[in-house]
Amino acid sequence: MIAYMSSLQTVFSVLKEAQARLALENRAAKDKALAAAAAAIDRDRAAVLAANARDIAKARSGGMKESLLDRLLLNDKRIDGIIEGIEIVIAQEDPAGKVRAGWTLPNGLLIEQVTAPLGVAAIIYESRPNVTADCAALAYKAGCSILLRGSSSALESNKALVKAIKAGIEEGGGIADAVALADSGSRDEVSEILEARGWIDVVLPRGGKELIRRVVEHARIPVIETGEGNCHIYVEGSADIERAVEIIANAKLQKPGACNAVETLLVRRDALAALMPRLAARFAGKAELRCDADARAAICAAGGDGDAVRPTGLVLKDADEADWTTEFLDYILAVKTVDSCDEAIRHINRCGTKHSEAILTNDLQAAEQFRARVDAACVYVNASTRFTDGGEFGFGAELGISTQKFHARGPMGLEALTTIKYLISGSGQIRS
């Protein structure tokens, strides 16, 4: 059939055959199977949590930093969130088989543009065992089979989750073979997936810069590229400063290891004096500020003698050029002074990763300029960047956040796993 062999060959073949059957399932059958999968995760949560505890212990002993350990952690609340996400997916319309457009030609041919499953998907991701359940549910509902390849740090958690999901799907009368986990832990698996032309229809990398770069550069199959999150918040003098401090704190401190956490704060010069002392007090003992000279001076100006008046516990360092392009994924915020909205936009378009960018302002003209000119998947006015998330957008779950400009952009839900096909109905027409 297809002259490609690997240690995952049997898995590829099973997924392809399962997808052909799954594409024929109606919404009721798919929803029943997903409901049973959610119930199985709930039933087996003790085993899932025990497996996750082993992953956490191994990662901590290996020196993984706390902000990244948080991405790996599962607890009862997070498992409840996984189950809720599956339930939201169940409640959504079936994305396949929807007629998007239709028209009749002068010769009588009826043409319909209809959504269809993408086919066999693979996702390669780091930590975040919740991604395992999210992507399995989205793929199944969209009529796609899926190969899940998580990181070795989450291997035990992923094995336990996939075991529960597959058992549940089978109990619900579904097609359990539509979900598979690449679980050898070998890095060779990634190369095998990327070379599986004819078996895997699309691959989605979800993780850090190096993982995404490897997938994009070496894949012989189509890629939906997710991006790292070097996200910015730009603050103008017209902004509500107290509210701005809380938005910035939320975007940095709530979950610094997330790709939608803010990494660089841009402050217009007319906002420095009001914002920086309050921000320094809010971040003292919680995160490190890496400031340019003007932002640092605004924190320390009151005392007239440099660092003497900075809040107790505040870690304050000088920023360098590398900080403007770094996704810290940690309790670190770079702060840069700008003289105009135009300068802020140019900096973001130069240094950003086209993920999530925000402006805090009460100037409607500046807000509209920012929205129109910033090149990013998600652009916010007076809100935290932390809302860039499939669950927060109402998708229930997400495959990842696409930073590219074709097929899908931003948080990817069910629609991202569909393509289109044209159905043409005739009555004997031939072309002259």
pLDDT of residue 306: 47
Q: Are residues 145 and 21 in the same domain?
A: yes
Is 298's pLDDT higher than 80? yes
Residue 218 lies in a domain: no
Distance CA 237, CA 71 (A): 35
Range of 18's domain?
9-188+400-425
Distance CA 40, CA 79 (A): 12
Residue 195 lies in a domain: no
Is 301's pLDDT higher than 80? no
Say which DSSP state 386 is in. Answer: G
Residue 277 lies in a domain: yes
Model confidence band, residue 185 (pLDDT cutoffs 50, 70, 90): confident
Q: Are residues 420 and 314 in the same domain?
A: no
pLDDT of residue 6: 56
Question: Model confidence over 196-247: pLDDT tens digits?
Answer: 999 999 999 988 888 888 999 999 999 998 878 999 999 999 999 999 999 9
Residue 76 lies in a domain: yes
Question: Model confidence over 49-79: pLDDT tens digits?
Answer: 999 999 999 999 999 988 789 989 999 999 9
Residue 217 lies in a domain: no
Q: Are residues 79 and 19 in the same domain?
A: yes
Residue 407 lies in a domain: yes
Say which DSSP state 144 is in. Answer: -
Q: Are residues 126 and 237 in the same domain?
A: no
Residue 194 lies in a domain: no
Q: Are residues 108 and 51 in the same domain?
A: yes
CATH code where residue 176 lies: 3.40.605.10
pLDDT of residue 246: 98
Q: Are residues 271 and 169 in the same domain?
A: no
Q: Are residues 419 and 361 in the same domain?
A: no
Residue 216 lies in a domain: no
pLDDT of residue 309: 57
Distance CA 342, CA 338 (A): 9
Number of folded domains in the chain?
2
Question: Model confidence over 69-119: pLDDT tens digits?
Answer: 998 999 999 999 999 999 999 999 999 999 999 999 999 999 999 999 999
Q: Are residues 129 and 162 in the same domain?
A: yes
Q: Are residues 68 and 155 in the same domain?
A: yes
Radius of gyration of the chain (CA): 24
Q: Are residues 174 and 236 in the same domain?
A: no
pTM of the model as a whole = 0.86
Question: Model confidence over 355-373: pLDDT tens digits?
Answer: 999 999 999 999 999 999 9
Q: Are residues 382 and 236 in the same domain?
A: yes
Distance CA 415, CA 432 (A): 38
pLDDT of residue 281: 94
Q: Are residues 160 and 61 in the same domain?
A: yes
